[in-house]
Chain A
């Protein structure tokens, strides 16, 4: 039966021919070449290599023009649409090329002038920013969170394009990501903003990401906080007025701005905070009319958020701690990076979970290390993404300390680091 399925797959190598394939072309920061010239050269390159397996990235080219002007050409996000890694025939799929430059400057501060003091109310990035490059790829989720979010914005734009009457069908351009700390909600928001700026570069020249400092919007003067919120949104309005810009407003820990008003009845919250919630809600209703704005919010404590705000969020995505499979992929990407930097040396080929599954988890010379990693992943279950990403660092700092180490040694250290993490956690829990 399995064989028959295999044969069928051989006979039909390209089950999905017409899937849209996104190709991201990262133009060198010193290159001033025309987009059309680059497009032509990249198409030629893709013509020569027209079968790829899943995502692929070129960083070296045999074409002189590409070498001097392009940093990388990557076929991205195929795994969001195709479940399995399978050959993709580029000549048969519809290609969309996204050519972009990264902005190297860091965030700038957005000030609100309040009588004679300046309040830094937001950080402000011009996208695509070098700071967020590669962030999207580093975020690994079990469910199709990433493709859902991308599809959501695509639909939003389609509805705006077709002039769907907002009174009949309403959408608010508000995304709420919630879940335990350390699962990458804020990073996902930033990565999404970057991704969309690149994807939509054909219609928006650039993106702006404004990360609001919620706490700074509370004034020391009673009754002034609501006004500060309004001022903040006025600044955002000015950015939205530029039709060439795609504006992302990121409100981290949104519960501090939109605390449930029902709590006020108990008299535990000052009425000034109610005004803040009201101001935020009315301002969101104001800016939802504009097609070029997306409001991204995150929260750890969803039950504390005002219902009127939760209602306004089109997507309420739960982001939980990673499963064993996701942990395995996170570790794999960490180890890959360490091998690239030659901290783990010599290079060892590690199998993916799917490849392990295909050989039936049989232990042999090729799969031994991967099986060890799988075991470590299983034991790491319950740790957040933030902790997982720092474990390789801790493993090196605590148990290795030499400039280069073999994979076997490193995995041992990693295993010890995982144990230590749980031990520490237990101690903390005991103290409380």
Chain B
């Protein structure tokens, strides 16, 4: 399913400065991500959204320190697609950042196969340990993915964070999936999930955000996401005091919709009056990576 990075060129980097402007625009008025928005709009961001940290890092840090990628979909996107974006993004990062030795799908295929086929292959004891670790990571990851689906079915999710290493307040690396610009539509009238996922990953490869990073040791990965205070989820833990950290390497992926959209179809926009009811939730498990 997942496209493999290999022969993409380094020259086609997006213009970062312009993109960041658009990122602010998205944050303030989630209608048209691509349209240039006045920086004054930053001031209108509701304080409960904790925008201050993000803005500070963008202002102080060098431009290369927090690159961002923007993806604009030509139409509305369904809630299920948003969930798929988050899940695929998580799987992709875990592999790209060396927490999984193979892409998730391949790992599932190799690790889960013996139990399915019933053919017992004698393995050296060192392999056993690796496979035990692998099984554990896969089980935990499947748990997170399943609960992500539950979460997305319960509430609108404006932002998803994937935090690698350190702790949630000061991770080593931070990946943000910003869905505030998405215009949500019903499953029938929205774009196909598959094509949206392909577009997202195409943009990631073109931006070439992972190739320069050096290999990481095995560390913990935590998933956080914003959701409605009263959404009734019990697996994710609310973190009312949470603030997006400014320390560490950060990559933001801004998703938004463009084109022929009936404005009333966008719940995100209608929600802006009650943004303060959207709080951060943290997955109660830390995904421990492993090497082969």
Contacts and interface: CB of A to CB of B under 8 A. Distances in A.
Interface of A: 29-35, 101, 104-105, 108, 110-111, 118, 124-126, 201, 205-206, 208, 238-239, 241-242, 244-245
A295 B247 CA distance: 21
Contacts of A242: 53, 169-170, 245-247
Contacts of B38: none
Given A118-B217, A126-B168, A245-B169, A101 B241 contact: yes
Interface residues of B, number: 26
Nearest to B220: A108
B212 interface: no
In this complex, which of B240, B242, B286 has the most chain A Cβ atoms within 10 angstroms of its Cβ? B240
A31 B168 contact: no
10 contacts: A32-B230, A105-B286, A108-B165, A108-B166, A110-B166, A124-B167, A126-B167, A205-B241, A206-B241, A244-B243
B188 interface: no
A421 B165 CA distance: 45
B285 to A, nearest CB: 10
A34 B281 CA distance: 14
A89 to B, nearest CB: 32
Given A30-B238, A105-B286, A242-B246, 18 more contacts: A34-B229, A35-B240, A101-B238, A101-B240, A104-B237, A105-B168, A108-B220, A110-B166, A118-B217, A124-B170, A125-B167, A126-B167, A241-B246, A241-B247, A242-B53, A242-B245, A244-B243, A245-B169
B287 interface: no
B247 A238 contact: yes
In this complex, which of A30, A118, A125 has the most chain B Cβ atoms within 10 angstroms of its Cβ? A30
Contacts of B279: 32
Given A31-B238, A105-B286, A239 B170 contact: yes
B229 A105 contact: no
B284 interface: yes
A152 to B, nearest CB: 25
Contacts of A32: 229-230, 238, 240, 279, 281
Interface string B231-256: 00010011111110111000000000
In this complex, which of B230, B237, B243 has the most chain A Cβ atoms within 10 angstroms of its Cβ? B237
Contacts of B243: 205, 244
Nearest to A206: B241
Contacts of B53: 242
Contacts of B170: 124, 208, 238-239, 242
Contacts of B237: 29-30, 104
Contacts of B284: 104
Contacts, number: 60
Interface in B163-194: 165-170
A254 to B, nearest CB: 24
Interface of chain B: mostly helix, strand, loop or mixed: loop
Contacts of A110: 166
Given A108-B220, A205-B241, A30 B234 contact: yes
A125 B53 CA distance: 21
A34 B239 CA distance: 11
A35 B276 CA distance: 12
A185 B241 CA distance: 29
Contacts of A238: 170, 247
In this complex, which of A29, A30, A32, A105 has the most chain B Cβ atoms within 10 angstroms of its Cβ? A32
A177 to B, nearest CB: 26
Nearest to A244: B243
A245 to B, nearest CB: 7
Interface in B16-41: none
Contacts of B168: 105, 126
B134 to A, nearest CB: 23
Contact of B169 (A29, A118, A201, A208): A208
Contacts of A125: 167
Contacts of B247: 238-239, 241-242
A425 to B, nearest CB: 41
A224 B58 CA distance: 34
Contacts of A241: 246-247
A315 B46 CA distance: 42
Contacts of B241: 101, 201, 205-206
A258 to B, nearest CB: 26
Nearest to B284: A104
Nearest to B169: A126
A106 B239 CA distance: 16
A110 B246 CA distance: 17
A128 to B, nearest CB: 10
A328 to B, nearest CB: 39
A35 B229 CA distance: 12
In this complex, which of B165, B166, B241, B247 has the most chain A Cβ atoms within 10 angstroms of its Cβ? B241
B90 to A, nearest CB: 18
Contacts of A33: 229
Contacts of A206: 169, 241
In this complex, which of A31, A108, A242, A245 has the most chain B Cβ atoms within 10 angstroms of its Cβ? A108
Nearest to A239: B170
A105 B288 CA distance: 13
Nearest to A128: B241
B5 to A, nearest CB: 26
A206 B230 CA distance: 23
Contact of B167 (A29, A101, A105, A201): A105
Contacts of B286: 105
Pairs A-B, 9 closest by C-beta atoms: A32-B238, A108-B167, A205-B241, A32-B229, A126-B169, A238-B247, A126-B167, A29-B237, A206-B241
